[in-house]
Structure 1
Amino acid sequence: MSLIFNAKVALFEALRAVVPAGVQCTFAERGQSDRRRQIWMGATVDEELEPVAMRAGPRKPTAVTGYVEAHAVVIVPGDPMAAERGAYELRELVADACRAVDRAAVAGLVDLRPESSSVETAETTDGAYSALTVRVRVRGRTTT
């Protein structure tokens, strides 16, 4: 459904507005870690389409629930605790961006909020890094 995609675009624009200088923010993964702190949008999933009313005619109101993922990486040479702390800071920015999205700007959007997150921290020859994935639930209502 385009509702989920439109919500993803609105979330990306809100995220670009809240990330501080020094954090690279892109719509898709660039495939290279040339920045110490970066965040990008991931998968878009339409999970539930449920009719919410029965009425005559070809178009029916439908409740839509889907998910959008935001990914981030923080690299800190030799300090895994600082890397993980940075990942949690970026997680809070995703939550701030969800609150900043104008619901009226996305037709049919009812709710947009982080549902879960995971952080993985490791040390490599490039330094300590933390990888973050935030799953954002998108709920809305459309007429299909």
Structure 2
Amino acid sequence: MALVFDAKVALFDCLKAAVPVGVQCTFAETGKSDRRQQVWLGATGDEELAAVAMRQGPRKPTAVTSYVDVHGLVITPGDPIGAERAVYGLRDAIAEACRSVVPASVPGLLDVRPESSETETAESTDGAYAALTVRVRIRGRIT
């Protein structure tokens, strides 16, 4: 659905403005871990469609709910506490980006909000890293 894609693009634009300076923000995963801090949009979940009103004709008002995963990664040499602290800062920036999406900017969009998050911290040969996944819910209504 164009609604979900357009909302994802609006979220990406808000993410670019919300993440701290020095954080790489990309629409999709780059496959490179050469940046110390990065945020990218991941998988878009299946859309849930539900008729919200009955009326004559082929086009019925439909509620649309979909999910997009926003990923973050922070690598800090030998400092797992610093990496996790920084990734929580990215989580706050993602939540701020969700609040910054103006529903009127996407026809049919009702809201964009973080629904859950998961954080993982580990140490590797590259240093300590913390990874973040925030599941963002996109809700809208189409006719």
Question: Normalising to structure 1: TM-score of the pair?
Answer: 0.97
* Alignment partners' CA distance in 2, 1:66 and 1:46: 6
* Alignment partners' CA distance in 1, 2:23 and 2:13: 14
The residue aligned with 1:38 is 38
> Does the CA contact (< 8 Å) of 1:8 and 1:68 recur in 2?
yes
The residue aligned with 2:88 is 88
The residue aligned with 2:58 is 58
* CA displacement at 1:46 relative to structure 2: 3.0
* CA displacement at 1:20 relative to structure 2: 1.8
Gaps of 5+ in 1: none
* CA displacement at 1:118 relative to structure 2: 0.2
* Alignment partners' CA distance in 1, 2:104 and 2:3: 12
> Does the CA contact (< 8 Å) of 1:48 and 1:66 recur in 2?
yes
The residue aligned with 1:14 is 14
The residue aligned with 1:110 is 110
- CA RMSD in angstroms, aligned pairs only: 0.7
The residue aligned with 2:67 is 67
> Does the CA contact (< 8 Å) of 1:4 and 1:46 recur in 2?
no
* Alignment partners' CA distance in 2, 1:81 and 1:4: 36
* Alignment partners' CA distance in 1, 2:47 and 2:3: 12
Aligned-residue identity in percent: 69
Question: Normalising to structure 2: TM-score of the pair?
Answer: 0.98
* CA displacement at 1:33 relative to structure 2: 0.6
Gaps of 5+ in 2: none
Structure 1's consecutive aligned runs of 4 or more residues displaced over 2 angstroms after TM superposition are none
- Equivalent position SS for 1:69: strand
The residue aligned with 1:138 is 138
Task: List per-residue Cα deviations over 1:58-92 (Å, max 9, x = no partner).
Answer: 11000001101100100010010110111110000
